[in-house]
Structure 1
Amino acid sequence: MGPTASGKSALALEAARQLNGEIVSVDSMQLYRGLEIGTAQPTAAEQAEIPHHLVGCFDFHHKIDVFQFRKLADRAIAEIRARGRRPILAGGTGMYLRALLYGIDDLPADPELRKRLDAEFDHDAGEPALLEKMAKLDPAAFDRWHACRRRLIRALEVRLLTGKSILELQQNPMDRLRYPVIAWKLETPTEILRKRISDRAAAMLDSGWIEEARRAIAAGLLESPTAHQALGYKLIAEHLAGNLTREQLHERISTATWQLARRQRTWFRHQHPEAQPLTMPPAAPLVFHS
């Protein structure tokens, strides 16, 4: 796991070679066909060498959410294991990876109630009252999540909606791994990562991304239910409309990708305690042990 352009795909390939593995993509946009360049999907040669799963599976008019992704990924992992091979998970969509490894909170929710609870409690001034309330209302949830304000607010929301503790209702408490894993979060020095992002954006534009985007946009990509979120395609639409030069397009894509990478860094830093930090690029070739 790690931010975009940090080297996840190459590392996953090497791990799969050494461990007799198959790769499961954890990337919400690599699921879609027709976006191969813009979502940095593995090449045909890479997929011929190592089986990849959840890459280019769906037309981009098809809506895939985190719940469907987890079912698909669980199935792929089970099939890989049944063949006696090692599942290698690789990707940067933090919410999807978290759902796969820790489970999904699919309990009742009320947006209006949550908005009120956030306004009352999701700040430093409101936290003492939240702690006091949950210590009385749901001691078990308080004991588990007293150090995590957002989790505690969610537990309060569920308690108010159902009259029961979230811990009674969850099949998985979302802080226990569903799979035994060895995990790495890739950490790349800022200047190196920014250069990798810029260089990769230039290479993607040079290799036909604009034409790929032209076809996808004409086919309705920007009106699609989820794939419209794929980074860069709206900016290419502006370029095609004559609103951005090629140089400006490259700069805007690089900036947007860096902003995404920063969000990903923050997510993986806080959401995946099971992951060991791995500095990229590594000082020496990595050896994976089974």
Structure 2
Amino acid sequence: MRPIAVVGPTASGKSALGIALAQELGGEVVNVDSMQLYRSMDIGTAKLAPSERGGIEHHLLDIWDVTRTASVAEYQALAVAKVEEVLARGKVPVLVGGSMLYVQSLIDAWSFPPTDPQVRARWEARLAEVGVDALHAELAAVDPDAARVIEDKDPRRTVRALEVIELTGKPFQASQPPKDAPPRWGTRILGLRAEAAWLNPRIELRTHQMFEQGLVDEVRGLLDVGLTRDSTAGRAIGYAQVLSLLEGELSLVDAREQTITGTRRYVRRQRSWFNRDPRVAWLDAAGADVPGAALAALDSRE
């Protein structure tokens, strides 16, 4: 009764594989997508509706308001407790998502590095002085690996990484557990490998479908419950672009195109992150029978 993690880039088919595995093995899905934690962020996160979940119980969806600042440490505590609850009921936890830090916080015994309000305040002041792009460039100069993982428009995580580097004297990535250590609970990790020639059209199709399904109206509704551009939720890919559209900074065409571009850039980060983990058993996302290949990979690792 070990957990199974399904990781890989956006739009590679993780949700469908997670459901198939849960159905076959008697499991329940535990969400590891940071933006699907937010209530009412449905269209832009490709969150499965209850009717699309194949009768499988899904956990840790819709638990935070869009006004809440995301916290990997808080997620870790909730997710560890949920996985152990599922295991205690004799079910297989199927961990599904591509949010890199959230995946690693869950499957590795990651103790989060220290914080210091004065150091944090100094970097926040630097952020206010030079802006997020310049601060992210400063991070890239001292810790290129961290800069490749952290979005260049994410001021909170950029500040946090620089704070950790100053406090520890080590790269931000050094505060994370090594990827060759045994995963928590003996979790078996499956990764969906998707070539750009196959994945990029899927990203484009998914983005166009999101706008056709009402992403702009979804964002308008979220504005009424407190969504802002400087919040964690407001910086999510797709949501940030629609906010710029609603404020007159982008046309509809540009908002769609920038969402596609931002998703592709994020996919490159995901590939870089997960490819460095030797514990991942890779599957061809474009294969004819991905669930069958996944079950075979699990059998080979027993």
- TM-score of the superposed pair, with normalisation by structure 1: 0.76
Partner residue, 1:199: 205
Partner residue, 1:189: 195
**AA aligned opposite 1:17:** Q
Contact 2:192–2:282 at 8 Å: present in 1 too?
A: yes
Contact 1:8–1:90 at 8 Å: present in 2 too?
A: yes
Q: Does 2:233 match 1:227?
A: yes
Distance (whole Å) between structure 1 residues aligned to residue 67 and residue 142 of structure 2:
39
Partner residue, 1:286: 291
Contact 1:63–1:225 at 8 Å: present in 2 too?
A: yes
Q: Does 2:106 match 1:100?
A: yes
Percent identity at matched positions?
35
Contact 1:24–1:90 at 8 Å: present in 2 too?
A: yes
Deviations 1:23-78 (A, max 9, x none): 01101110010111111111121346111111111211223311111111111111
Distance (whole Å) between structure 2 residues aligned to residue 8 and residue 232 of structure 1:
19
Distance (whole Å) between structure 1 residues aligned to residue 286 and residue 85 of structure 2:
32
Deviations 1:82-121 (A, max 9, x none): 2211100110100111111112232436769xxxxx9998
Distance (whole Å) between structure 2 residues aligned to residue 241 and residue 266 of structure 1:
34
Structure 1 vs Structure 2 CA RMSD: 3.3
From 227, 251, 258, the counterpart of 1:252: 258
From 266, 280, 283, the counterpart of 1:275: 280
Distance (whole Å) between structure 2 residues aligned to residue 276 and residue 19 of structure 1:
18
Partner residue, 2:168: 157
Distance (whole Å) between structure 1 residues aligned to residue 106 and residue 269 of structure 2:
19
1:228 is displaced (CA, Å) by: 2.2
Contact 2:229–2:235 at 8 Å: present in 1 too?
A: no
Partner residue, 1:133: none
1:284 is displaced (CA, Å) by: 2.6
From 169, 177, 183, the counterpart of 1:177: 183
Deviations 1:197-229 (A, max 9, x none): 000001111111110011112332125642222
Partner residue, 2:214: 208
Matches for 1:70-149 after TM superposition, within 5 Å: 70-108=76-114
* CA spacing shift, 1:18–1:189, aligned 2, 3 Å: same
Partner residue, 1:132: none
Query: Which segment is superposed worse, 57-66 or 236-245?
Result: 236-245
Structure 1: unaligned runs, 5 residues or longer: 113-117, 124-152, 160-165
Instruction: Look up the SS of the partner of 1:222 in the other structure.
Output: coil
1:273 is displaced (CA, Å) by: 1.8
Query: Which segment is superposed worse, 60-69 or 207-216?
Result: 60-69
Distance (whole Å) between structure 2 residues aligned to residue 121 and residue 215 of structure 1:
40
Partner residue, 1:9: 15
Structure 2: unaligned runs, 5 residues or longer: 1-6, 121-138, 145-163
**AA aligned opposite 1:15:** L
Contact 1:102–1:178 at 8 Å: present in 2 too?
A: yes
Distance (whole Å) between structure 2 residues aligned to residue 24 and residue 31 of structure 1:
11
Partner residue, 2:66: 60
From 21, 25, 34, the counterpart of 2:31: 25
**AA aligned opposite 1:195:** P
* CA spacing shift, 1:202–1:182, aligned 2, 3 Å: same
**AA aligned opposite 1:31:** L
Partner residue, 1:141: none
Contact 1:12–1:23 at 8 Å: present in 2 too?
A: yes
Distance (whole Å) between structure 2 residues aligned to residue 242 and residue 71 of structure 1:
40
**AA aligned opposite 1:275:** V
Number of residue equivalences: 250
Contact 2:198–2:286 at 8 Å: present in 1 too?
A: no
**AA aligned opposite 2:38:** Y
Partner residue, 2:127: none
